[in-house]
């Protein structure tokens, strides 16, 4: 940890420099197009991931999960109620207990398919839908990467035409500066989140000893 403050400050300097060099080498099309695709897909995911996750859960996951859980509970019930209580997932026991029941008493009052339906329905907003939403975000990100591979080469070929070549490189240089600034802001934001959760940690102490990163992180904290 002794050298960590120097490493963190070095990152704040190196990240924008690397972005500028990357912009000069790749040009505007090679640098900005993949980044723009990722940003665009993240925006689309932000707009549509929630409704898509709801639709997928209700139409494809809910019934299948209820049937699997019902089959699981039926098998365990045949082994005795004590085994059933121990076999239930912790989140299921919590959902049942919050309704004022114990797993065994609820089994005696409801058919297992109804119990399974209740557990899966209760788990949807807390566990299933967030997990599906995260998966959709990952899918959108992978689509952006695939589109980048498909589109960047033709765009680069067009940008290498005599009239456009220097313009592409100049714009790549400018984009590299902007991208480097964004990377520094992201690093400072991530740092501020970490130290806000662990203010007494060795990492937080190292950040406080930095000359540049600590100032950026503090500005972000003040901003929010």
pLDDT at 197 (0 to 100): 81
pLDDT at 160 (0 to 100): 82
Q: How far is CA 34 from the centre of its chain?
A: 18
Mean pLDDT by 10 residues, the chain (224 residues): 86 92 89 88 92 93 89 72 60 64 56 78 86 94 91 85 88 91 90 84 88 86 72
C-alpha closest to that of 109 among 122, 93, 121, 96? 96
φ/ψ bin of 198: left (φ > 0), alpha (ψ from -120 to 50), beta (otherwise): beta
pLDDT at 105 (0 to 100): 57
Q: How many CB atoms lie within 10 A of CB 73?
A: 21
187 burial class (0-12, 13-18, 19+ CB within 10 angstroms)? middle
Q: What are the residue boundaries of the structural domains of the chain, listed by start?
A: 4-223
pLDDT at 109 (0 to 100): 45
Give, in order, the Cα–Cα distances in Å from 175 to each of 152, 168, 179.
Answer: 16, 10, 6
Most distant CA pair in the chain: distance in Å? 80
């Amino acid at each position: 940890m002794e050298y960590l403050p120097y490493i963190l400050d070095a990152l704040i300097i190196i990240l924008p420099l690397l972005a500028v060099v990357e912009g000069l080498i790749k040009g505007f099309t090679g640098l900005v197009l993949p980044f723009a695709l990722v940003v665009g897909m993240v925006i689309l995911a932000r707009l549509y991931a929630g409704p898509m996750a709801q639709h997928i859960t209700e139409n494809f996951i809910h019934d299948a999960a209820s049937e699997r859980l019902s089959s699981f509970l039926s098998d365990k019930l045949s082994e005795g109620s004590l085994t059933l209580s121990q076999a239930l997932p912790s989140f299921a026991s919590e959902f049942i207990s919050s309704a004022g029941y114990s797993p065994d008493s609820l089994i005696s009052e409801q058919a297992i398919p109804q119990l399974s339906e209740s557990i899966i329905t209760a788990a949807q907003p807390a566990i299933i839908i967030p997990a599906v939403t995260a998966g959709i975000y990952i899918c959108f990100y992978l689509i952006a990467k695939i589109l980048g591979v498909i589109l960047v080469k033709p765009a680069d070929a067009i940008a290498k035409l005599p009239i456009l070549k220097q313009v592409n490189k100049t714009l790549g240089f400018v984009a590299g500066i902007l991208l480097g600034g964004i990377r520094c802001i992201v690093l400072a934001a991530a740092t501020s989140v970490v130290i806000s959760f662990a203010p007494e940690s060795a990492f937080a102490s190292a950040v406080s000893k930095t000359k540049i990163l600590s100032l950026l992180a503090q500005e972000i904290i003040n901003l929010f």
